[in-house]
Amino acid sequence: MDVINYFSPDYQAARAKFLEAAHQAGLTVESHQNPMKGPDGGALYTDVAVWGDPKADRVLLANSATHGAEGFCGSGAMVGWLHSGAWRAVPKNVKVVLVHAINPYGFAWLRRVNEDNVDLNRNFIDHNAGYPENPDYDALHPVIFPESWGPDSLTRMQATFDAYREKHGAFALQKAISQGQYGHADGVFHGGNKPTWSNLTFRRILENHVLGARHVGFIDYHTGLGQYGAADLIASGERGSPELERCFAWYQNGVSSSALGNSTSPALFGVIKTAVVDILADAQVTSMTAEYGTYPVPTVMGAVIADNWVHLRGDLDSPQGKEIKAQTRKAFYPDEDDWKELVYLRSRQIMYRAIQGLTTA
């Protein structure tokens, strides 16, 4: 199969390709049904494919569609890995767990968020311990979620962003908007006020397939930040920590770190890796976010903001709604052959290096 055919035009096609590839490879598959339906009325599932000895003490856990609309990338990478036959070379002491579409609602509806308008990668926080404040986002929220969407509101938004950028810098603006916020349920990058369905499902998957492992490599596929087609391998771990050192040792070139200040992403609240650490408290975890670039940050951020507005205040079936949804899809999934080839090639390298790292851990 040609590399570009590993990727799909929509969620249902992506799921069908993943299930077919998993079954052809002989992997066991477990499916979790989301309570919502897709735009076509179809059922939505998170599917988990597992290869290897159930009792293996080393596990490679790969996850896709934490941010739903970004799921095309991780899905294509997983389908390609299965079709490549690379699973045949996985050492006997390593188990591979592939989580396809942990946020199937967002994938199907072309939204980064889930069915509750919650950013899943800000939802893995202790909801009983109070929420971090984000006063900079609070100040920006009125222009991020205007009453109407048109030239006047967009001009006000741009002027506000320009003033903030001039005073604090472009990365500070990105951080203020995207770090996570818990005070505006109608805003962007909202972390929610309770664990979501995807949060609880991911924890259940960890308990079913990863709990008991001594060494875990976690890869979370994302898109939207960085140079077109390039993978920014964002390592977890604090400055000087063993986990951060392992990430650099395993993945080598292309690794960055929010803790070191050289990543395309600021440090974030409530990320999905938190569940891995919570559930697997006795394991040595080496976590990395594979962030594939698409278009410049203002373009991607603009798509997130527009998508939030059209779902909460706009009309999806209007010409404006259709234009915004097309803009959102493109921001997170450049449907171009060269982009798909770059994603697949780098993903094969990443998966291989993770397995090698686990083998020698």
DSSP for 101-135? -SSHHHHHHT-SS-TTS--GGG--S-TTS-----H
pLDDT of 318 above 90: yes
Q: What is the largest CA-CA distance in the chain?
A: 61
pLDDT in the model for residue 361: 81
Residues in the chain: 361
- Whether 214 and 310 map to the same domain: the answer is no
pLDDT in the model for residue 262: 78
pLDDT of 341 above 90: yes
- Whether 221 and 251 map to the same domain: the answer is yes
- Whether 19 and 146 map to the same domain: the answer is no
- Whether 317 and 267 map to the same domain: the answer is no
- Whether 233 and 351 map to the same domain: the answer is yes
Mean pLDDT of 245-270: 88
- Whether 184 and 319 map to the same domain: the answer is yes
Give the helix, strand, coil percentages of the chain, each rounded to 5. 45, 20, 35
Task: Determine which of 194-208, 219-233, 250-264 has the lowest per-residue pLDDT on average.
Answer: 250-264
How far apart (Å, rounded) are the C-alpha atoms in residues 209 and 359? 18
Mean pLDDT of 149-174: 96
End-to-end CA distance of the chain: 34
- Whether 287 and 305 map to the same domain: the answer is no
Mean pLDDT of 324-329: 98
- Please give the tally of structural domains in the chain: 2
pLDDT bracket for residue 241 (50, 70, 90): very high
- Whether 35 and 96 map to the same domain: the answer is yes
What residue numbers bound the domain in which 47 lies?
Answer: 3-127+195-295+335-360
pLDDT bracket for residue 20 (50, 70, 90): very high
Of all residues in the chain, the percent with pLDDT exceeding 70 is: 100
- Whether 23 and 115 map to the same domain: the answer is yes
- Whether 150 and 38 map to the same domain: the answer is no
pLDDT bracket for residue 258 (50, 70, 90): confident
pLDDT of 84 above 90: yes
CATH assignment of the domain containing 23: 3.40.630.10
Please give the residue that has the higher pLDDT: either 74 or 256: 74
pTM of the predicted model, to two decimals? 0.97
pLDDT in the model for residue 260: 84
Mean pLDDT of 102-122: 99
| Pair type for strands 231-235 and 255-257 | parallel
- Whether 25 and 169 map to the same domain: the answer is no
How far apart (Å, rounded) are the C-alpha atoms in residues 120 and 114? 7
**Side-chain half-sphere exposure of 270, counting CA atoms within 13 A:** 31
- Whether 236 and 251 map to the same domain: the answer is yes
pLDDT in tens, 186-219: 999 999 999 999 999 999 999 999 999 999 999 9
Q: Decide if 237 contacts 307 (C-beta within 8 A).
A: no
How far apart (Å, rounded) are the C-alpha atoms in residues 182 and 68? 20
Angstrom CA distances, 18 to 210, 330, 350, stand at: 20, 22, 19
Q: Which tokens belong to 102?
A: 């942990």
